[in-house]
Structure 1
Amino acid sequence: MKVSEATLVSPSTLDECLLLLNDQKHSVQLLAGGTDAVVRMKEGVWNPDTWINIKNLDALRYIEEVNHEIHIGALTSHTDLVESKLINERADVLAQAAKEIGAIQLQNMGTIGGNIATASPAGDTIPALFVLDAKIELRSLTDTRLIPIREIFTGPGRTVKKSDEIITKIIIRSQDEDEIGIFEKLGPRKAQSISIVNVAISLKMGEKPRECLEGKIAFGSVAPTIIRATKCEYMLKLNPLFDDVIHDIASAAWKEVMPISDVRASAKYRRNMASSLLERGLYRLMKRWEEQ
């Protein structure tokens, strides 16, 4: 299929978009930032009768705090996240993840909703959304659903989103002053690279030195979908996070991940790097906590 043969429509409102999605006579595909569109077309994965260009639906591009939650419109760009004072202060792990997405051009064009809808196991913002307990709002012409992010993905490139639905909003919790987060990524190049392994960490700290009251860890690119490292999370609370404890927690991550070998890395290498990234992230978090 040539790009020139595709039909493209650009709705001016969300309601108009939902009407187009409700058309059961023709196959349609949403187009937001479009950073994956040509690739998916060449692969034959996306071959719709009509592309629905939603890039200009400004009603879906915002970041705001509501009752200790942060609401993010699905068309919010990665650059918007990187530059948002609210995200940097109250959800720093998401800002760090967005900054690691390719080059500036990709950050300007790509959207957080698109990153979720693409459902890549290597998607950089998704582990951050996992540790921030994100909920995803899906809307159709007749219904609105709010789904915890852990229930959104069913496999590589697959979600529970129905063909007549659009992701409209992402809701994350606003971190307290005693919470710190970090995103670590390993890619084949310094920039514009797909993650070989990535990890997002969020810790709620106590009053004692390096005391962790609760922690969340999510790995990407080490399983068919993003995974939470629940055993490592449990270990975070057992002892103060001094260097030997951090090393033990990172070593346990080797058994939590379930990577495959592909052209970018072997399964064994990914396991080792998952442990290394977790260890590095925890070291950096402890240093930052002690300095603030």
Structure 2
Amino acid sequence: MKISEIDMVTPKSVEECLYFLSDQEKEVRLIAGGTDAVVRMKDGIGRPETWINIKGMDSLRYIREESDGIHIGPLTTHTDMIHSQLLWKKADVLASASNEVGAIQIQNMGTIGGNLGTASPAGDTIPPLFVLDARIELNSIKGKRIVPITEFFNGPGHTIQKPNEMITDIIIRPQEENEMGTFEKLGPRKAQSISIVNVAMSLKMGEGQRECLEGRIAFGSVGPTVIRASKCERMLTLSSLTDDTIKDVADIAWKEVMPITDGRATAKYRRSMASALLARGLYRLMKRWDEK
């Protein structure tokens, strides 16, 4: 079967899209940016009977702040997030990650909803969403439900999203004025390919010298899903974040991750790089803090 022989429908509204998704007679899949779809079909997976093309549904492409958090539409592209002053001010860890996604062409086409739906453990925008306590709104013809991102993923390529559901909103926690974040990534080529290891982190700082009141750290590509580094997070608040303390925190990271060996890297290499990336990110954050 050629790709051109697959049926495609283009709904004009969310309601019409949900109607197509509710059709149990056909195997259907949503497509927006499509940056992953063709690759998967060439590998013999993810080939539906009908594509539901939602790329032009502008009602699902937005970034805005409301009383309950920052809302991001699932069709918001990585380029949209890179250019968002709101995200750089109140969710810099997510904007930073978007800046590291693929090449410019991928940033222009790829969407945050697609990154979530693909559910790759190496997805660059997913660790920042863990750090920002994201909530995912899932919509079906039967109604809506909102789930925390910690409950959204079941494993590599698998989520709790039902076949008749689509992501219609992503809500994240805005960072506070004394909070700053960053994203670090290791790939075979800089910003061009899938992560070997990545890490998102955000620190809430106090008035003392390099005093960390709270830290959030999430690793990608080192386990079946994103891993929160709870031991490292606790260590961040025990003493001033001197260079020696940062080294001690980073040394613990290898115990938190659960990588595998595959064609891109060995498990041992990933463990070492998880520690190195965490240290690099913390050093950079402290440099930013010292310069304030």
State the SS of the aligned residue for 2:95. Answer: helix
> Is 1:22 the equivalent of 2:22?
yes
Residue identity (%) = 67
What is the Cα deviation at residue 44 of structure 1?
A: 2.1
State the SS of the aligned residue for 1:285. Answer: helix
Tell me the amino acid that sits aligned with residue 271 of structure 1: R
> Is 1:77 the equivalent of 2:77?
yes
Residues matched between the structures, number = 292
What is the Cα deviation at residue 191 of structure 1?
A: 3.1
Quote the residue 1:217 is aligned against.
Answer: 217
> Is 1:186 the equivalent of 2:186?
yes
Give the gaps of 5 or more residues in structure 2.
none
State the SS of the aligned residue for 1:88. Answer: helix
State the SS of the aligned residue for 1:175. Answer: coil
- 1:122-271 counterparts in 2 under 5 A? 122-271=122-271
Quote the residue 2:276 is aligned against.
Answer: 276
Q: Spell out, residue by residue over 1:230-281, the C-alpha distance to the aligned partner (whole angstroms, 9 max, x if none).
A: 0000111111100111000000001110000111100000000000000010
Cα distance in 2 for partners of 1:61, 1:277 equals 32
Quote the residue 2:106 is aligned against.
Answer: 106
Q: Spell out, residue by residue over 1:113-148, the C-alpha distance to the aligned partner (whole angstroms, 9 max, x if none).
A: 000000000000000100000001000011211110
Cα distance in 2 for partners of 1:192, 1:236 equals 31
Tell me the amino acid that sits aligned with residue 89 of structure 1: K
What is the Cα deviation at residue 192 of structure 1?
A: 1.3
**Does the 8 A contact of 1:22 with 1:164 survive in 2?**
yes
Tell me the amino acid that sits aligned with residue 224 of structure 1: P
Quote the residue 2:53 is aligned against.
Answer: 53
Cα distance in 1 for partners of 2:103, 2:58 equals 23
Cα distance in 2 for partners of 1:42, 1:2 equals 10
Task: Give the ranges of 4+ consecutive aligned residues of structure 1 lying more than 3 Å apart after TM superposition.
Answer: none
Tell me the amino acid that sits aligned with residue 219 of structure 2: F
Q: Spell out, residue by residue over 1:160-183, the C-alpha distance to the aligned partner (whole angstroms, 9 max, x if none).
A: 000000001110011111000000
What is the Cα deviation at residue 290 of structure 1?
A: 1.1
Cα distance in 2 for partners of 1:251, 1:203 equals 18
State the SS of the aligned residue for 2:244. Answer: helix
What is the Cα deviation at residue 78 of structure 1?
A: 0.3
State the SS of the aligned residue for 1:76. Answer: coil
Quote the residue 2:93 is aligned against.
Answer: 93
What is the Cα deviation at residue 48 of structure 1?
A: 1.0
Give the gaps of 5 or more residues in structure 1.
none
**Does the 8 A contact of 1:9 with 1:52 survive in 2?**
yes
Q: Spell out, residue by residue over 1:206-227, the C-alpha distance to the aligned partner (whole angstroms, 9 max, x if none).
A: 0001100111000000001011
State the SS of the aligned residue for 1:120. Answer: coil
What is the Cα deviation at residue 68 of structure 1?
A: 5.6
State the SS of the aligned residue for 1:261. Answer: coil
What is the Cα deviation at residue 43 of structure 1?
A: 1.9
Cα distance in 2 for partners of 1:278, 1:187 equals 15
Cα distance in 2 for partners of 1:96, 1:242 equals 24
What is the Cα deviation at residue 42 of structure 1?
A: 1.6
Cα distance in 2 for partners of 1:250, 1:72 equals 32
Cα distance in 2 for partners of 1:230, 1:43 equals 36
**Does the 8 A contact of 1:115 with 1:125 survive in 2?**
yes
Quote the residue 1:36 is aligned against.
Answer: 36
**Does the 8 A contact of 1:68 with 1:174 survive in 2?**
no
CA RMSD across the alignment? 0.7
State the SS of the aligned residue for 1:106. Answer: helix
